[in-house]
């Protein structure tokens, strides 16, 4: 029984790291994609340097806003999922505690 309990505890302990990995992985993909797009634009741009820099600044600002919005959504969603998980665990612990009390009461009879 201890083996099962420690596995469950271990899984619960790894959840925050898993969620952080998802968040950082999504953000890293977004940033790398933006950088690759900017590099391609620089190499293939048929504009003057001044026009290209202006366009890069505009697109960079747009990408920053998109990244910030995406990050906010991911953090909110991860927080909601974490709260649901914690609530579920608390409910399960409460039910187990209640059942343990019932079994102790029956054993004392």
What pLDDT score does 2 carry?
A: 44
Q: How many CB atoms lie within 10 A of CB 22?
A: 14
Q: How many CA atoms lie within 13 A of 68 on its CB side?
A: 6
Residue with tokens 């959504």: 73
* Residue matched to tokens 């102790």: 104
Cβ-contact 42, 56 below 8 angstroms: yes
**pTM of the full structure:** 0.44
The number of distinct structural domains making up the chain is 1
pLDDT tens digit string along 45-85? 676 778 878 888 898 888 888 888 888 888 888 888 888 88
Exposed, middle or buried by CB within 10 Å (0-12, 13-18, 19+), for 21? exposed
Q: Which domain holds residue 64?
A: 2-108
């Amino acid at each position: 029984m201890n083996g099962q309990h420690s596995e469950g505890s271990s899984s619960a302990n790894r959840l925050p790291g898993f969620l952080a990995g998802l968040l950082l992985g999504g953000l890293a993909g977004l940033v790398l994609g933006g950088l690759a797009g900017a590099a391609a634009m620089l190499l293939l741009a048929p504009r003057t340097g001044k026009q290209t820099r202006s366009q890069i600044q505009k697109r960079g600002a747009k990408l920053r806003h998109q990244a910030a919005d995406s990050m906010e959504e991911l953090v909110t969603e991860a927080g909601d999922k974490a709260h649901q998980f914690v609530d579920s665990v608390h409910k399960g612990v409460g039910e187990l505690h209640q059942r343990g009390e019932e079994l102790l009461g029956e054993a004392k009879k």
